[in-house]
A and B are shown apart, each in its own frame.
Chain A
Amino acid sequence: MAETFDRPEIRTPENLVYSKTNVLTDNIMHYCPGCGHGTTHRLLAEVIEEMGIQSETIGIAPVGCSVLAYNYFDVDMQEAAHGRAPAVATAVKRLFPNKFVFTYQGDGDLAAIGTAETIHACNRGENMTIIFVNNGIYGMTGGQMAPTTLPGMPTSTSPYGREVATMGNPLKITELIAQLPGTYYVTRQSVHTPANVRKAKKAIRQAMENQKLNRGLSFVEVVSNCNSGWKLSPVKANKWMEDNMFPFYPLGDIKVNGELVK
């Protein structure tokens, strides 16, 4: 997976306004154009660079669209079985208590098959960071229903829309884990506008900084789009997300410094 762009050098010191963090590799990301995974990767990588912890960070990739996250983060990485990243990360952090450990997981990974591992790692207060990308669908496997799929939302396994009576309710796992005494910081963000990107980055920074305090688990949900799975253009997907996902999954801090907000 070591392909790089073969492009003419157009960058000069005068016109350079932004440069890629060196905590991201030069590998071309496989994400669909407009997908929130890429932006979320960048923010986390920038935080790692800004904190100067590249050599002390160990990341755990999930099974899902971000399974290849290990090719993009230039830190030591492990690829976990579907849903098991919090258990894998638990061991890493217990064995290297002074390193920074994160998991990066989708909603199927974290809130369906891995619910037990998520809840118990949170409840034990493992001193690590979970980045949870909630796009309400199984992106990788082709757009099946996720635990977070909204009522009425069509997916390939709920082609007439999610019928709550037979398919159950969407799971607000973030609110749920905020109730656990082991979580120290729980927040819900998005990366679909520059303002939201800035807020999300601050949240990720906070979540990583918290590991120095040893007070419990920090959890950052990023409500994101899956334009391929939702079968919408990137622009329409973002609009759909604002109109439908945010009312159900409202953005903002849910727990700060170990205290529930509001």
Chain B
Amino acid sequence: MKELKLMKGNEAVAEAAIRAGADAYFGYPITPQSEVLEYLMAERPYERTGMVVLQAESEVAAINMVYGGAACGKKVITSSSSPGISLKMEGISYIAGAELPCVILNVVRGGPGLGTIQPSQSDYFQATKGGGHGDYRLIVLAPASVQEMADHVKLGFDLAFKYRNPVMILSDGVIGQMMEKVELFEQMPRLSDEEVAANYPWATTGKPAGVPHRIITSLELDSSKQEKHNHHLQEKYRKIQENETMYEAIQTEDAEYLIVAFGSSARISQKAIDMARAKGIKVGMIRPITLFPYPSEIINKLADQVKGILTVEMNAGQMIEDVKLAVNGKVKVEHFGRFGGMIPNPEEVVKALEQKIIGG
């Protein structure tokens, strides 16, 4: 049954994982996302649905548990925050190379290093451009509300299994920690072992008699075959770009200026847009919902319409590179950011728009 609840973003992810019929969660505590594991441990999903929940000895172990579970065709999710995600990167690269489906939540905090436990968006490059080694892409979702935190778990699993590709939910400490009302989707059944074996013939579910054994690996010593595998991956990423790009366009019809922002920066920018419009500034926003694939096409189109574009990010200017690529020099693109755990306020955004784009 659908349910309306007041929840933290992190708790919404945990509850959504149970309801999406996830088979396992593996994680390691780190602020600001420990509520995911805490909620799951308190909720005892192994009694509700049979879902396995395990606190691993490290993020390294957790992501490799994800590898093992995903290789069995099971629905597996993990979560962490920036330093922990850095540790997971080798495993993520293996998962991408072996083409395994899984969902990875990053509730980003400020860095570099141990940094701060306060919110940030400074892992944009890491999420969208690699992070781990090799030519691979994650599908990256950017929730901007507690509702989307829950919904992106389900969407993430759907995309992960559709493309046999890891999905990252790139959230931040604001979305993870804040409480909002959320409409939780109905409980979906977990697949039985027989259904998993039937649905995912590539998975290591135990080799049936007369069938060749299944091998899950990211190794190919013959470089011509490894190149072929890379071509196959690139082809898959192109398909994902063609079919799965998602964004929200806010007041862009009459916009003379454009803000591009994702996650909590988009929430703050929305308020800034209201304030700017009250002053007579016609500004709209593109909020990417997928960061890979990136909504370059719509941004390129709007570059013909607007006089300037401001990216608002809780980092020193990362997504702006993708916006500039999309705009291809047609109009001016500037960045406004607070970072190191600082959160911009709407007044600052309006001021940046006036100074860097309208006045500048």
Q: Which residues does A use to contact B, with CB under 8 Å?
A: 25, 54-58, 60-61, 67-68, 70-71, 73-81, 84, 87-92, 94-96, 99, 116-117, 120
Is there contact, CB below 8 Å, between A81 and B91? Answer: yes
Is there contact, CB below 8 Å, between A92 and B68? Answer: yes
Is there contact, CB below 8 Å, between B64 and A95? Answer: no
In the assembled complex, the Cα of A67 lies from the Cα of B60 at a distance in Å of 19
Is there contact, CB below 8 Å, between B24 and A70? Answer: no
Is there contact, CB below 8 Å, between B68 and A56? Answer: no
In the assembled complex, the Cα of A74 lies from the Cα of B62 at a distance in Å of 28
Is there contact, CB below 8 Å, between A80 and B67? Answer: yes
Is there contact, CB below 8 Å, between A91 and B66? Answer: yes
Q: Which residues of A contact B209 (CB under 8 A)?
A: 54-55
Verify if B90 is at the interface (C-beta below 8 Å from A).
yes
- Residue from B213, B214, B216 whose CB has the most chain A CB atoms within 10 Å: B213
- Residue from A75, A94, A96 whose CB has the most chain B CB atoms within 10 Å: A94
Is there contact, CB below 8 Å, between A117 and B57? Answer: yes
In the assembled complex, the Cα of A176 lies from the Cα of B205 at a distance in Å of 33
In the assembled complex, the Cα of A70 lies from the Cα of B213 at a distance in Å of 9
Verify if B234 is at the interface (C-beta below 8 Å from A).
no
Chain B nearest CB from A109 CB (Å) reads: 12
- Residue from A81, A95, A120 whose CB has the most chain B CB atoms within 10 Å: A95
Interface flags, B61-75, vs A, CB<8A=1, else 0: 110111111011010
- Residue from B52, B56, B64, B205 whose CB has the most chain A CB atoms within 10 Å: B64
Contact of B56 among A79, A87, A92 (CB under 8 A): A87
Interface flags, B149-164, vs A, CB<8A=1, else 0: 0000000000000000
Contact of B213 among A60, A75, A91 (CB under 8 A): A75
A-B pairs, 6 with minimum CB distance: A88-B68, A91-B68, A76-B204, A79-B217, A84-B64, A91-B65
In the assembled complex, the Cα of A67 lies from the Cα of B94 at a distance in Å of 14
Is there contact, CB below 8 Å, between B68 and A87? Answer: yes
Is there contact, CB below 8 Å, between A76 and B205? Answer: yes
In the assembled complex, the Cα of A77 lies from the Cα of B214 at a distance in Å of 6
Given A78-B71, A78-B217, A87-B64, 19 further pairs, Cβ under 8 A: A54-B209, A55-B206, A55-B208, A55-B209, A56-B206, A57-B206, A70-B217, A71-B215, A76-B215, A79-B98, A90-B61, A90-B65, A91-B52, A92-B68, A92-B71, A95-B74, A96-B72, A96-B193, A120-B61
In the assembled complex, the Cα of A95 lies from the Cα of B169 at a distance in Å of 24
Is there contact, CB below 8 Å, between B215 and A95? Answer: no
Nearest to B76 among chain A residues (CB) is: A91
A-B contact pairs, 13 of them (CB 8 A): A25-B213, A70-B215, A75-B213, A77-B204, A77-B217, A81-B90, A88-B67, A90-B61, A91-B66, A92-B204, A96-B193, A116-B61, A117-B57
Verify if B318 is at the interface (C-beta below 8 Å from A).
no
Is there contact, CB below 8 Å, between A58 and B72? Answer: yes
State whether A87 and B61 are in contact (beta carbons under 8 Å apart), knowing that A95-B24, A95-B52 are contacts in the complex: yes
Is there contact, CB below 8 Å, between A117 and B207? Answer: no
Chain A nearest CB from B40 CB (Å) reads: 14
Is there contact, CB below 8 Å, between A78 and B206? Answer: no
Q: Which residues of A contact B69 (CB under 8 A)?
A: 91-92, 94-95
Verify if B30 is at the interface (C-beta below 8 Å from A).
no
Nearest to A89 among chain B residues (CB) is: B68
In the assembled complex, the Cα of A75 lies from the Cα of B52 at a distance in Å of 25
Interface flags, B213-245, vs A, CB<8A=1, else 0: 111111100000000000000000000000000
Chain B nearest CB from A104 CB (Å) reads: 14
Is there contact, CB below 8 Å, between B214 and A81? Answer: no
Is there contact, CB below 8 Å, between B64 and A80? Answer: yes
Verify if B26 is at the interface (C-beta below 8 Å from A).
yes
Verify if B334 is at the interface (C-beta below 8 Å from A).
no
Contact of B61 among A60, A67, A84, A92 (CB under 8 A): A84
Verify if B54 is at the interface (C-beta below 8 Å from A).
yes
Nearest to B218 among chain A residues (CB) is: A79
Q: Which residues of B contact A84 (CB under 8 A)?
A: 60-61, 64, 67, 91
In the assembled complex, the Cα of A79 lies from the Cα of B213 at a distance in Å of 13
Nearest to B220 among chain A residues (CB) is: A1
Is there contact, CB below 8 Å, between B64 and A99? Answer: no
Nearest to B74 among chain A residues (CB) is: A95
Chain B nearest CB from A211 CB (Å) reads: 13
In the assembled complex, the Cα of A235 lies from the Cα of B176 at a distance in Å of 62
In the assembled complex, the Cα of A56 lies from the Cα of B23 at a distance in Å of 19
Is there contact, CB below 8 Å, between A117 and B61? Answer: yes
Q: Which residues of B contact A99 (CB under 8 A)?
A: 206
Is there contact, CB below 8 Å, between A90 and B68? Answer: yes
In the assembled complex, the Cα of A70 lies from the Cα of B193 at a distance in Å of 23
State whether A78 and B57 are in contact (beta carbons under 8 Å apart), knowing that A58-B206, A91-B24 are contacts in the complex: no
Chain B nearest CB from A146 CB (Å) reads: 20
Is there contact, CB below 8 Å, between A117 and B64? Answer: yes
Contact of B72 among A74, A81, A92 (CB under 8 A): A92
Chain A nearest CB from B211 CB (Å) reads: 9
In the assembled complex, the Cα of A77 lies from the Cα of B216 at a distance in Å of 6
Chain B nearest CB from A218 CB (Å) reads: 18
Is there contact, CB below 8 Å, between A116 and B65? Answer: no
In the assembled complex, the Cα of A73 lies from the Cα of B213 at a distance in Å of 9
In the assembled complex, the Cα of A70 lies from the Cα of B219 at a distance in Å of 11
